[in-house]
Amino acid sequence: MKQRRVVVTGLGVISPVGNDVATFWDSLVRGVSGIGPIDRFDASAYPTRIAAQVKDFNASDYVSRREARRMDRFVQYACAAARMALEDSRLVIDAGNAERVGVWVGSGIGGLETYEAQHQVLLTRGVGSVSPIFIPMLIANMASGQISILHGAKGPNGCTVTACATGTNSIGEAFRFIQRGEADVMLTGGAEASITPLGMAGFCAMRAMSTRNDEPTRASRPFDAQRDGFVMGEGAGVLVLEELEHARARGADIYAEVIGYGTTADAFHVVQPDPGGDGAARAFAAALSDAGLAPEDVDYINAHGTSTDLNDPMETRAIKRVFGEHARRLAISSTKGVTGHMLGAAGAVECMAAVLACRHDLVPPTVNYETPDPECDLDYVPNVARQMAVRVALSDSLGFGGHNAVLAVAKYRD
């Protein structure tokens, strides 16, 4: 049976560099950093005191105050991005189509802020004071649950939790639902809000984050030899995926087409990637095969590019292994230099960047790339955006636990 074609018809984003798609994209292209000192809590005792926080966000701009109080911050971000994406797509969900519209929005960690607050309530005020909606606020599937409730989407509903690969895996699974004919439309992506005392303490304990506290905008520097760790980010990205004929029938504006998805496991280590890049390479190859692409067909990769010593050389090796000589002709960039690492939301906002690169024939840069690393010797589009033809772009995400996921998107053509 011929697989159904899947296109992107709506985008919504809450990010450290903008709470609308136009501002987000402009920030990526101009390399405007969203990283600064943490002001949400007292971080003075932490080795890392910087993060890429969402700014100027008011949940009641998107949901009622009553609803907002019953949501963890990651769910608020997800609901805001979903509403934005639906409005962008001009899709109306009603009794006639509700059962064919699904939601698949993941979170790598879930309601950490709620967990910390309610644990403090338990310790200081006792068992009877813990909120009756503590668990519904905490669990990672509640972003999808609340989005479906708010908009009446009754199709496939759930979430993927694969750490930093969450957003990419979520979009890939939503893509499959539409390909298989189980839905006509999916709202999909990822959300995260882990810039909390415990979240930061945990990552600091791993010594995985940058300690360039005096130069926050220069702290995240993917593929650069002077990198010293990632910078925590937060936010949400939601895309509206739609079956092509369904989108055309209602006159939808089509951003790009999703054409392939690959996902693999390293089976190597809890937090360290396979240094040879085997799992990542197989995910790239699987996405190419699924899309029916040769390596030479790809113009741009929005890389995972975390600005860590373990990820960046490994990812470079994986790209070389799959793309061969074409690896040196590829434009590769990591937008984490601007957004920080948004964990479960990263893959969604980075897929969005790949979609917009195809739409505008414009590749956002890798900021703070100043000192070449001999182990990272490809074209990382350093510091300045590049106008070029982008017919096919890949976006890859690699998560703790050895989870690897790659999406292939293409400029839409009849």
Which residues carry out catalysis?
Answer: 164, 304, 341
The whole-angstrom separation of Cα 68 and Cα 61 is 10
Residue pointed to by tokens 């509403």 = 83
Is residue 183 within 8 A of residue 155, CB to CB? The reply is yes
410 DSSP assignment = E
The whole-angstrom separation of Cα 31 and Cα 232 is 17
Task: Provide the 3-class DSSP secondary structure of residue 80.
Answer: helix
One-letter identity of residue 348: A
Is residue 103 within 8 A of residue 83, CB to CB? The reply is no
Who's near 1: CB < 8 A, 6+ residues apart?
Answer: none
Structure tokens given for 373: 């690393």
Closest CA to 25 of 290, 414, 320, 359: 359
Structure tokens given for 381: 């589009």
DSSP output for 96-117:
TTGGGEEEEEE-SS--HHHHHH
Is residue 191 within 8 A of residue 78, CB to CB? The reply is yes
Looking only at the bridges linking them, the beta strands covering 300-302 and 185-192 are: unpaired
Structure tokens given for 120: 């403090």
Task: Provide the 3-class DSSP secondary structure of residue 215.
Answer: coil
Give bridge partners of residue 363 from the DSSP assignment.
Answer: 386
| Crossing angle (nearest 10°) for helices 112-125 and 73-89 | 150
**414: exposed, middle or buried (Cβ count in 10 Å: 0-12, 13-18, 19+):** exposed
Is residue 284 within 8 A of residue 318, CB to CB? The reply is yes
The whole-angstrom separation of Cα 71 and Cα 180 is 32
Structure tokens given for 215: 């130069």
The whole-angstrom separation of Cα 349 and Cα 399 is 15
